[in-house]
Amino acid sequence: MTGAEMIIHALKKEGVRALFGYPGGAVIDIFDALYNSDIPFYLTRHEQGAAHAADGFARASGEVGVCIATSGPGATNLVTGLATAHMDSIPIVAITGQVHTHLIGNDAFQEVDIVGISRPITKHNYLVSNIDDLPHILKSAFYLAQSGRPGPVLVDIPKDIQQAKTSKPYPDSIEIKSYKPTIKGHMPQIQNVSKAIAASNRPVIYAGGGVISSSASDELRQFAKIINAPVTTTLMGLGVYPETDKNSLKMLGMHGTEYANYAIQEADLLIAVGARFDDRVTGKVDKFASKAKIIHMDIDPTTIRKNVQVNIPVVGDIKHVLHELNKIVEPKENKEWLEQIYKWKKDHPLKYKNDGRIQPQYVIEQIAELTNRKAIITTEVGQNQMWTAQFYNFTHPRTFLSSGGLGTMGYGFPAAIGAQVAQPDKIVVDIAGDGSIQMNIQELATAVLYQIPVKIVILNNHSLGMVRQWQAIFYDRRFSSTCLRRNINCPPDCDQTGENCPKVYVPNFTKLAEAYGATGFFTNKVEEVKPTLEKMLNTPGPVIVEFEIEAEENVYPMVPAGAPINEMIRGMA
């Protein structure tokens, strides 16, 4: 078969249920082979949208997401999506076209060294130079993407390779000599973990996205129940432990709960499970969990001791490690410690103002109530993301999809499309800001034309809210380039709250939704929030709902950059 036919054959063999992408001259042979294929293809309106949709599909399903782009600008438009997936350990296979082999290096039309460009932001990448290598490379790409610590893999395929023929079969299995991820944890180390837990009085479980990647939520919940310890999660770990449970500390870190951060700082044992101690979690590193012995379980040995010193490392797949640990760990009561936890939770709850205006936290609580917390929620990046993390109260894994490590504005909407394709029977809601939603708004055409019924809730504060918050707190309210109503007639020193502030905002999201063939709703009245959301959920097809929210509302608590995580700005309520 031709190289192009081999690609489609490989996708079928790997059980790929959906493709996202955009055609071009360097992949026209692949699209010709796709023409009579039964693999559903979704034509996005931008290659970045395709990468994020593949990412959302992977996060919602646990399968490998696949995207296709042409050479040159098509490939470079995938870069942000690949970097997003790489930072959050999401399995994606990206297939890019390349100019003819003999033209590589000659600055040919739409030529770019995408292998060189993507090397730092992929788990691995390939440039196929021999047609007979293609089956093995494609098999390797899928294996690498989903094994060990997952991540994106890019396969760059020149046009002449797509047209050449091979008789090599597609492998049923693969073995890469230089790549042997550790699956089973070292049993003596797991025993040491059990001993450390038995000796502790104030244990805290700190769970991250690795628990979701290894489908180990059930094992984590069993572990937490056995040792009766409070559980805090990273942004990527939301949903692995029910946040409605009395022992949940919800999220920790820069915008985590006060009680989670207090618990970390007072713990005598910190059990990190599938997390990487990133800077938004630790704050000032030398003050982080300074009273605690630290256990770190992760499949990736390079993450251990990368950011913090660890007393007991355990390298292995989280599902396997917790399964073995649950067999030997002794039950605990931790009565005094839990009493302290419950007191912190009572004394320092998450809260917000109730002043008759639409508060974003209230909107998110209503979404959670109306969906019974069973929807898949995607977010953009910024205040909308943090309010969602704080107030939705996630109870199931793979229901919160957001760009954590890279912080990619424009991620949430195309990711919601991918998630809806992966889980067609679930409600999918993208909670967005009025700034970030415009970065990939063109994907409304994709949602409408393929009848993908995603719902978009825009929390409109007329500004780039998170940057504005930092300007308000740390830069003496010098609001430089964060007002999205600002126009050529605005005074240079406008504080965004004066009488001369323009009332016209661009765009009108309701009309924009209608222009794409979707449905749009708007309200600025708090009493209309719930009925408007009910209309959204009962309206077929894609829907945009715009809530004009309190412009000055900020995300609290907040740990200033470089401060210990128990030194928080609490805001007002």
Domains and CATH numbers, the chain: 3-163 (3.40.50.970), 187-347 (3.40.50.1220), 360-462+505-548 (3.40.50.970)
pLDDT confidence of residue 498: 61
Among residues 109, 180, 343, 534, the one annotated as catalytic is 109
Among residues 1, 13, 63, 110, the one annotated as catalytic is 110
In the residue annotation, 110 being an active-site residue is answered as: yes
Q: Which residues of the chain have pLDDT under 70?
A: 495-500, 572-573
DSSP at 559: P
In degrees rounded to 5, what are phi and psi of residue 322?
-70, -35
- 178 class by beta-carbon count within 10 Å (0-12 exposed, 13-18 middle, 19+ buried): exposed
- Name residue 376's beta-bridge partners: 428
CA dihedral 104, 108, 112, 116 (to 10 degrees): 30
Coil, helix or strand at residue 27: helix
Among residues 123, 159, 345, 455, the one annotated as catalytic is 159
Phi-psi region of 113 (alpha: psi -120 to 50; beta: other; left: phi over 0): beta
Q: Which two tokens stand for residue 9?
A: 């054959």
pLDDT confidence of residue 490: 84
pLDDT confidence of residue 406: 97
Give DSSP secondary structure letters for 428-463: EEEEEETTGGGGSGGGHHHHHHTT---EEEEEE-SB
pLDDT confidence of residue 415: 98
Q: How far is CA 386 from the centre of its chain?
A: 12
Closest alpha carbon to 246 in 225, 223, 269: 225
Closest alpha carbon to 417 in 15, 21, 88: 21
Tell me the chain's radius of gyration from C-alpha atoms: 24
pTM of the model: 0.97
In the residue annotation, 222 being an active-site residue is answered as: no
Amino acid found at 323: H
Q: In the β-sheet with 312-315, what is the strand arrangement from edge to edge?
A: 248-251, 231-233, 203-207, 269-273, 293-298, 312-315
- Three-state SS sequence of 160-193: HHHHCECCCCCCCCCCCCCCCCCCCCCHHHHHHH
DSSP at 500: T
In the residue annotation, 47 being an active-site residue is answered as: yes
Calpha distance 276→462 (Å, rounded):
34
Among residues 5, 14, 47, 111, the one annotated as catalytic is 47
Calpha distance 512→117 (Å, rounded):
35
In degrees rounded to 5, what are phi and psi of residue 508?
-85, 105
In degrees rounded to 5, what are phi and psi of residue 155?
-120, 115
DSSP at 229: -
Among residues 87, 236, 439, 466, the one annotated as catalytic is 466
